[in-house]
Structure 1
Amino acid sequence: MLKKQSITLQMLLSVMSITIMISIFGIIFNVLNSINTQKNSFIYQSELEIKLIADFVSAPLAFGDTLAISDAFASLKHRESIRYATVYSPDKNALVTFNPYDYEVPKQMQKIESLFISDNPLILDFGLYNQTIPIKQDESLLGYIHIQKKTQSITDSTKDLLVKSLIFLLLIILLTYFISKSLSRKILHPIIHLASVAHRVANSKDYSIRVKHNKDNEIQTLYNAFNTLLKDTDSLTSNLETRVQERTHELEQSIEALKSVQTQLIESEKMASLGSLVSGIAHEVNTPLGNALTGGSIIVHETKELTRQINEGTIKKSTMLKSLDVLNESSQVLMLSIKRAADLIRSFKKISIDQSVESRQKFNLYSYLEEVLLTFHNKLKKVPIKATITGDKELVVNSFPGSYAQIFSNLIQNTLIHAYNKNKKDAKVSISIVNNGDSFTLIYEDNGDGMDESIIKNAFEPFSTTRRNMGGTGLGLNIVYNLTTQKLHGKIKLDTSPDNGTKFTFTIPISEN
């Protein structure tokens, strides 16, 4: 509870509580001690009083003069504290009683006693005091005397003491309150002022503010320490701001340099991809061109032979027909080979233009991916890897075909380089297309070596490669990730484990406004 209050109130309540507790304990001790003292004094006075009365009545009692005893009791009328007094015979029967208020007096003495009797549970009501002593003369028992007294004097004195003590306690509380208030203001005000200044410094960040205290004491020491702290903080802040500006400038330069290097590496990766494409096309075109060259050579040879025989006039019909069959077959081979080479060159031209010119257009995804696979036909055949495309053949997307060419070129390159270093048996690559309505799913999967956990967690990070010393840039999958998420606004998921192949799942919108 106190923790939620101000330090001034905490100090005030603490001092007040301690003062009140000490005062109450002191009052209780004083009252109890006073009661004990008054009771002892009351008993002592009562003993003197009863002995004096016993001396007065001893002579009349010895002669059996009850009238003289009554006359002796008459002097007790002025003592208001005595309720009654009784003289008993040696056999404990009442002889003479002083009872001005007609209280009930026992006719038979009970026992010799000296005690306080009270039926009232109140702590300040001490009840009645009973005292009995024997009356003797020369060791001879003459009888007994019993008196009963009021204790109102003790009660009145105690109440008076309590009233005075409570008044004293109230004065102590008031005095403590004003003294504590004054001291707290004197002691805590500089600290509260310091807290206020500290709060202002924290809000304004103005470390040039200083605090002042005119007295040479502990508060002045605290103020000096606070001012020193502000001075050091101001100096450190200024130096830190300068250093931050310098580091920020250096960091900006480093970032620009990194961006430049990354751009160059990405361009290099693109060129490497195109170079790989050119290499694949060269290998693919080489076969049909070789066949075309062979067919053309045969046609030239047969044509020269026919021309020679015609000029010499030695040509026969059978020879003519045979040569025409050869020429016809060779021309068909020539045309098919040239057509095959033309198709390859057209695919290469389309893909290379798509990768270099980033323009949105509608295209059949299935057919386009077939053309991409066609450019890698020769390299896939060398492993050998069986590549297939399945799924929706009619899906038309409005997107960037060059991005798809670059994505799948990088994936196929990764497969060729990394997937089948351990086992090349029954190597397969599959691409499947699933139309989901507003989006479509592309799945690229191989049954190669897969990746371990250390590679998976950094697979899409730039410059992450296991073949850095063999010319790898580590940008292939990073380019795939960036093209998918930023250019095509899609998502990519990688599923792989050692010796269980690798699977890339792409979810991409079919078209964008």
Structure 2
Amino acid sequence: MTESNVKFSIRSLFLWVVMLIITFTLVFSSSLSMYSQIKNYRQELANQVITLAELISHNAGYYLKTMKPEEASARLKTLEAADILQNVVIYQGTPSPDGSQPSRFAEFTHSSAAPIIPPASIFNQVRHARFHEDSIDVTIPIRESGGTIGYVFVKASAASFHEMVGDAIFLNLSVMLIMLVVGLILTVKLQRFITEPIEYLAEFLQLTSRKRDYSARADSSRIKELNILSKAVNITLRRIQETIQKQQAAEEQHRELNTRLEEMVNQRTLALKDANQELIQTLEKLHQFQRQIVQNEKMASLGDMVAGVAHEVNTPIGLGVTASTMMLDRIDTIQEQFENKTLKASTMAKFLSESQENLNIIYRNLNRAAELISSFKQVAVDQTSENSRAVCVAQLINEILLSLRPRLKKVHHQIDVNVNPDLTVNTKAGPINQIIINLIMNSIIHGFEDVESGQIVISAQMMSANKLKLIYRDNGKGIPDDIRKRIFDPFVTTKRGQGGSGLGMHLVYNLVTQALNGTISLSSEEGHGVEFVIVFPVTDATAKENLNLRQ
């Protein structure tokens, strides 16, 4: 809290609170005392007036029976000696039900007072003192032989009452003022007795804080609570002093440790630089080895394809050679018979028939070999080429399947291609070749392990004007969870030590993301096959050809 926000001090709060308590107590007690005194004075005056009225009433009965009104009034003049009495009226008779009032019989008026005519309501309140601003009156019945024969109305001065009330108020105010002065003096002394040790303690703490001399100690106080506070402050200062000493010792120790650590860090930094340099060189070698292994994987795949195609081409060429050899033998026989002039028409007809059959065999097998060589040539060109070209997607997939026929002939799996034959796009065919080959071989080696007849479905469609979606599914045994999470990492395989390099899917991921600038996602559950979704940008070659034709 800032100094501008401080509005009260202990000194002022103590003074105000104590004086308010004293003032409230004195006002309350004085008011209660004055109220009690005024009530007593009022009661005493009322009793005095009622007593005088009863004495007058006692004599008034005699006046009513034996005297005339003038004589009774003369007798009442003896009341002049009572300074308190102002008016006395004696009534004869009682109020009647028809509304008639008692008649005035005799009256007395003090020389210092004026005559009065009491109201008729005075007969309604009997023996009850009625106070007015400066007077008090009472009505007393006059009884004779158990009945009421008249009334006495007495009015007395209330000056003595007011004088006593004034004296009581003055006395109470004087006493209250004296007590307030005495209370103020005692409060100031008590305030100093309490606040001076607190102010000393506050100044001591401020001075200690400014000088940072935590070895100083506060003096004890005569007040128990403040003495406890002083001891607590001293304990705190002692602990702060001990803490500072420990901190200084720790800082000195830290400086020494920092010096040692700097030397150790410098040594370790030099060693780390050497280790980092060696690690960078090792990492570069690993990258080179990885690129070499990936390239070897591609070349091994191409080598397998060459061997398979060579085997496939060997069969039709062998059949063609056999058929051509038979034709040569038949031609030699016909030529010999022709020269010897022993050639028959039936022999010639048989030769022509066999020649036609052999030529058909030669044609079919040479045509089949030409198709295999053409397909292999296109696949080989695609695998080694990184240039984009117009590709019929269905034809490209069929050529890949044709190049894999030697391997596919050994198994009984079914491959379905669901692609629109008219779907033609501009893209890089080489990466697509390698991707599909790796996926099919993965299904055969891993997905269809211990499966006699599996099914592979390859479909492709345009997602948008410039994106092709290629979907590859099989119904094999799926991929375990621990393998699926890192299927695209290098050297991840379930055939470790059985010929599996673990680079097939890593190569697929690199070809999709780097060569084709696309994305690949995998969904698989163990026992329910796999599904690869490959999306990559292409150009619609059909639209491009139409544009060229229009131009």
Q: What's the TM-score once normalised by structure 2's chain length?
A: 0.59
Q: 1:429 aligns to what?
A: 456
Task: Describe how 1:38-437 pairs up with structure 2 within 5 A.
Answer: 102-104=163-165, 150=175, 152-163=177-188, 179-187=204-212, 220-425=248-453, 427-436=454-463, 437=465
> Any conservation in 2 of the 1:24–1:169 contact (CA below 8 Å)?
no
> Any conservation in 2 of the 1:433–1:443 contact (CA below 8 Å)?
yes
Q: Distance in 1 between matches of 2:195 and 2:250?
A: 37
Structure having the higher Rg: 2
Q: 2:228 aligns to what?
A: none
Q: Distance in 1 between matches of 2:363 and 2:355?
A: 12
1:447 correspondence with 2:472:
no
Q: For the structure 1 residues 387 and 302, does the alpha-carbon distance in structure 2 shift closer, same or farther, using more than 3 Å as the test?
A: farther
Q: Distance in 2 between matches of 1:274 and 1:447?
A: 27
Task: Describe how 1:427-506 pairs up with structure 2 within 5 A.
Answer: 427-436=454-463, 437-506=465-534
> Any conservation in 2 of the 1:27–1:165 contact (CA below 8 Å)?
no
Q: Distance in 1 between matches of 2:250 and 2:195?
A: 37
CA shift at 1:306, angstroms?
Answer: 1.4
Letter paired with 2:534: F
Report the count of equivalent residues: 373
1:507 correspondence with 2:535:
yes
Q: Show CA shifts across 1:223-276 (max 9, x none).
A: 424433543453454344334323322321221121022112101101111112
Task: State the secondary structure of the residue aligned to 2:478.
Answer: coil
CA shift at 1:321, angstroms?
Answer: 1.7
CA shift at 1:478, angstroms?
Answer: 0.6
Task: State the secondary structure of the residue aligned to 2:494.
Answer: coil
Q: Distance in 1 between matches of 2:276 and 2:300?
A: 35
Letter paired with 1:432: S
Q: 1:124 aligns to what?
A: none
> Any conservation in 2 of the 1:362–1:399 contact (CA below 8 Å)?
yes
Letter paired with 1:321: A
Q: For the structure 1 residues 239 and 180, does the alpha-carbon distance in structure 2 shift closer, same or farther, using more than 3 Å as the test?
A: farther
Q: For the structure 1 residues 31 and 445, does the alpha-carbon distance in structure 2 shift closer, same or farther, using more than 3 Å as the test?
A: same
Letter paired with 1:186: K
Task: State the secondary structure of the residue aligned to 1:245.
Answer: helix
> Any conservation in 2 of the 1:363–1:398 contact (CA below 8 Å)?
yes
Q: Which moved more, 1:389-398 or 1:238-247?
A: 238-247
Q: Distance in 1 between matches of 2:484 and 2:300?
A: 24
CA shift at 1:281, angstroms?
Answer: 0.8
Q: For the structure 1 residues 383 and 243, does the alpha-carbon distance in structure 2 shift closer, same or farther, using more than 3 Å as the test?
A: same
Q: For the structure 1 residues 316 and 394, does the alpha-carbon distance in structure 2 shift closer, same or farther, using more than 3 Å as the test?
A: same
Q: Distance in 2 between matches of 1:185 and 1:230?
A: 31
CA shift at 1:484, angstroms?
Answer: 0.5
Q: Distance in 2 between matches of 1:419 and 1:305?
A: 58
CA shift at 1:28, angstroms?
Answer: 11
Q: Distance in 2 between matches of 1:186 and 1:325?
A: 130
> Any conservation in 1 of the 2:19–2:187 contact (CA below 8 Å)?
yes
Q: Show CA shifts across 1:7-39 (max 9, x none).
A: xx9xx9xxx9xxx88x8999999999x99xxxx
Q: Distance in 2 between matches of 1:275 and 1:185?
A: 89
* Gap runs ≥5 in structure 2: 24-159, 215-243, 541-551
> Any conservation in 2 of the 1:422–1:449 contact (CA below 8 Å)?
no
What is the RMSD of the two structures over their aligned residues, measured on CA atoms? 4.0
Q: Distance in 1 between matches of 2:246 and 2:507?
A: 67
* Gap runs ≥5 in structure 1: 3-8, 36-98, 107-116, 119-126, 130-147, 190-215
Letter paired with 1:394: D
Q: What's the TM-score once normalised by structure 1's chain length?
A: 0.63
CA shift at 1:374, angstroms?
Answer: 0.4
> Any conservation in 1 of the 2:14–2:191 contact (CA below 8 Å)?
no
Q: For the structure 1 residues 478 and 24, does the alpha-carbon distance in structure 2 shift closer, same or farther, using more than 3 Å as the test?
A: farther
Task: State the secondary structure of the residue aligned to 1:468.
Answer: coil
Q: Distance in 2 between matches of 1:29 and 1:334?
A: 130
> Any conservation in 1 of the 2:19–2:184 contact (CA below 8 Å)?
no
CA shift at 1:128, angstroms?
Answer: 8.2
Q: For the structure 1 residues 149 and 246, does the alpha-carbon distance in structure 2 shift closer, same or farther, using more than 3 Å as the test?
A: same
Q: 2:108 aligns to what?
A: none
Q: For the structure 1 residues 311 and 269, does the alpha-carbon distance in structure 2 shift closer, same or farther, using more than 3 Å as the test?
A: same
CA shift at 1:164, angstroms?
Answer: 5.2
Q: For the structure 1 residues 152 and 470, does the alpha-carbon distance in structure 2 shift closer, same or farther, using more than 3 Å as the test?
A: same
Task: State the secondary structure of the residue aligned to 2:539.
Answer: coil
Q: Show CA shifts across 1:188-209 (max 9, x none).
A: 99xxxxxxxxxxxxxxxxxxxx
Q: Distance in 2 between matches of 1:247 and 1:168?
A: 77
Letter paired with 1:435: M
Q: Show CA shifts across 1:394-426 (max 9, x none).
A: 22222221111111111122122122222213x
Task: State the secondary structure of the residue aligned to 1:397.
Answer: strand
Q: Distance in 2 between matches of 1:323 and 1:255?
A: 73
Letter paired with 2:527: D
> Any conservation in 2 of the 1:31–1:161 contact (CA below 8 Å)?
no
